[in-house]
A and B are shown apart, each in its own frame.
Chain A
Amino acid sequence: MIALLLRDLRLAMRAGGGFGLGLAFFLLVAVLVPLGVGPEGGVLARIAPGILWVGALLACLLSLDRLFALDHEDGSLDLLATAPIPLEGVVAIKALAHWLVTGLPLTLAAPLLGVLLHLPDSGQVWLVASLAVGTPALSSIGAFGAALTVGLKRGGLLLSLLVLPLYVPTLIFGAEIIKRGAAGMAVEVPLLLLAGITLGAAAALPFASALALRINLR
């Protein structure tokens, strides 16, 4: 399983693997929104939590369709499915690899973009915290969507249609944490709820994803 994780990470790092693409997209969102909304600091500070979370969500979505599709094309997914490790584990590892190359860099880069969007300093720490806690959920949920659409030729658009509604609770709690944190209110409740979603998704969704993969590989 560790070998699989390393393989996925290596593939993502190499040229054409898409590493950094999500990050660049995230940066673009944070640059384009002020261009569209106008440069007033007050407005930007108010919408910053939502923009950053929506940006993270879309950046995550961008790389999801390659999660299983490439392996499906060259047949390595069939090999993984028949390998002596459980398919659920494969899915979990692939989601973890996806998080390491998209969610984690996003979390680390977020404070910089927070500054660009005039997010108050009191919100910065909660921005990082909410992304760190919430983005693993995005990867697990996304892996489920990718598993559903793996056999389709043009699954990318359908994938976003399936996955985005599933992202609603994560988005709400994630943005709420930053909003409350920036305003100096207590953030325990949304933070715990977000952690609950992440843990629940990481624990239960690999089973659903593996089931969907098995159906698609039949």
Chain B
Amino acid sequence: MSIWEYANPKKFIATAQRVLPWVATGAAVALIMGLIWGFFFTPDDYKQGSTVKIIFLHVPAAMMAINAWVMMLVTSLVWLVRRHHVSALAARAAAPVGMTFTLIALATGAFWGQPMWGTWWEWDPRLTSFLILFLFYLGYVALWEAVENPDTAADLTAVLCMVGSVFAVLSRYAVKFWNQGLHQDSTILKVGEKDPLDPAYYWPLAVCIAGFILLFVALVLLRTITEIRLRRLAVIEARERLGS
């Protein structure tokens, strides 16, 4: 029993379909619970008022936006090295999800920034790098759509993903160099240090993060299954056309 067994699309679909309802239910439960807990049962911040509660959407979305790219990087690498189609299709499936999470993080950040910083948008390093990340997602998805041959598309996007990762990291630090930050540092991992996140927010936030992770897994599984089926459909259609 090894993870490579799931390179077999049939096996992957069978397992994914067994797991999918549980993951989806888990995501729904965690998100509903976390968001209701976060929005209605946490106190207002003494400085930020109720706007602090946007953290329950903003932080998990931002985390998953980056993690989705890392997942694409890993699956692209697996595709290039071991030529497992499921892996390439999983990368393709994850891209729009990651792109949407990037958008959610940018939008919720803007909604929070308007009352708090007095501006919808600021050319702050974190914000700028996220916008650049969004552009990288856009290019990646566009390349997938543009290339007709599926194997060529998978190869080219995998190469793009790898080169893009290097430049995304470079951009992150270049942008830091270019402008000083307005965005506050992350407080989640600061437990035990000075200025930690208040425990009243910590647990609902943790639930929300778990919900976003499960949501991401569920969406990627579902979309990968769809991609595999679309691939099969294309083969069947091609065969029909040859036969007729």
Closest to B153 in A: A215
Binary flags per residue of A165-204, CB closer than 8 Å to B gives 1, else 0: 1101100110010000000000000100100010000000
- A148 contacts the other chain (CB 8 A): yes
Q: Decide if B132 is an interface residue (CB 8 Å cutoff).
A: yes
Tell me whether A161 and B138 are in contact (CB under 8 A): yes
A-B pairs with beta carbons under 8 Å apart, 27 shown: A144-B163, A148-B143, A148-B159, A148-B160, A151-B152, A161-B135, A162-B139, A162-B142, A162-B160, A164-B135, A165-B164, A166-B164, A168-B132, A169-B167, A169-B170, A169-B171, A169-B174, A172-B174, A172-B175, A190-B177, A193-B174, A193-B177, A208-B163, A211-B159, A215-B152, A215-B156, A216-B152
Query: Contact partner of A158 among B142, B162, B164, CB < 8 A?
Result: B142
Taking CB atoms, residues of chain B closer than 8 Å to A155 are 146
Using Cβ atoms and an 8 Å threshold, which residues of chain A touch B142?
Answer: 158, 161-162
How many A residues, CB 8 Å from partner?
A: 27
In the assembled complex, the Cα of A176 lies from the Cα of B177 at a distance in Å of 9
Residue of B nearest to A205 (CB): B163
Q: B159 contacts which of A152, A172, A215, A218 (Cβ < 8 Å)? A: A215
Please judge, given known A-B contacts A168-B167, A197-B170, whether A158 and B159 are in contact too, CB under 8 Å.
Answer: no
User: Is A212 an interface residue when CB atoms closer than 8 A count as contact?
Assistant: yes
Instruction: Collect the chain A residues with CB atoms within 8 Å of residue B159's CB.
Output: 148, 208, 211-212, 215
CB pair B146–A158 under 8 Å, yes or no, is yes
The answer, among A166, A176, A190, A215, for a CB contact under 8 Å with B167, is: A166
Q: Mark A97-108, 1 if CB is under 8 A from B, else 0.
A: 000000000000
Query: Which of A151, A168, A190 has the most chain B CB atoms closer than 10 A to its own CB?
Result: A168
Q: Which residues of A contact B4 (CB under 8 A)?
A: none
Q: Does any Cβ of A come within 8 Å of B124's Cβ?
A: no
Whether the Cβ atoms of B170 and A216 lie closer than 8 Å is: no
Q: Does B178 contact A (CB under 8 A)?
A: yes
| Given A172-B175, A172-B178, A215-B159: A162 and B143 interface contact (C-beta under 8 Å) | yes
Pair B136/A165 contact, Cβ less than 8 Å = yes
Enumerate A97-144 residues with CB–CB distance to B below 8 Å: 144
Interface residues on B, range: 20 to 34
B147 at the interface (CB under 8 A from A): yes
Chain B residues near A212 (CB-CB < 8 A): 156, 159
Q: A165-B139, A173-B174, A215-B155 provided; 15 other pairs, C-beta below 8 A?
A: A148-B156, A158-B143, A161-B138, A162-B142, A165-B132, A165-B136, A165-B164, A165-B171, A166-B163, A168-B167, A169-B171, A176-B177, A208-B163, A212-B156, A216-B156
Q: Which residues of A contact B143 (CB under 8 A)?
A: 148-149, 158, 162
Min CB gap A179→B, angstroms: 10
A35 → chain B, closest Cβ, in Å?
Answer: 25
Chain B neighbourhood of A190, CB < 8 A: 177
Known interface pairs A172-B178, A176-B178; A165-B152 also in contact (CB < 8 Å): no
Q: Kindly state the separation between the CA atoms of A193 and B175 in the bound complex, as whole angstroms.
A: 13
CB distance from A143 to the nearest CB of B (A): 12
A154 closest partner in B (C-beta) = B146
Q: State which residues 147-198 of B face A: CB under 8 Å.
A: 147, 152, 155-156, 159-160, 162-164, 167, 170-171, 174-175, 177-178
Determine whether the beta carbon of B156 is less than 8 Å from that of A165: no
Please report the C-alpha to C-alpha distance between residue A173 and residue B136 in the assembled complex, in whole angstroms.
19
Closest Cβ–Cβ distance, residue B90 to chain A (whole Å): 19
Q: Which of A144, A151, A162, A172 contacts B177 (CB 8 A)?
A: A172
- Contact B174 A152, beta carbon cutoff 8 Å: no
Chain B residues lying within 8 Å of A169, measured Cβ to Cβ, are: 167, 170-171, 174
CA gap between A116 and B72 in the complex, in Å: 46
Minimum CB–CB distance from A40 to chain B (whole Å) comes to 22
Look across to chain B and name the residue whose beta carbon is closest to the beta carbon of A166. Answer: B167
Q: Which residues from 115 to 152 on chain B have a C-beta closer than 8 Å to any C-beta of chain A?
A: 132, 135-136, 138-139, 142-143, 146-147, 152
Complex: A164 Cα to B139 Cα, angstroms: 10
Bound-complex Cα distance A169 to B156 (A): 22
CB A195 to nearest CB in B, in angstroms, measures 14
Chain B residues within 8 Å of A205, by CB: 163
- Given A173-B174, A218-B152 in contact, is the A152-B162 Cβ separation under 8 Å? no
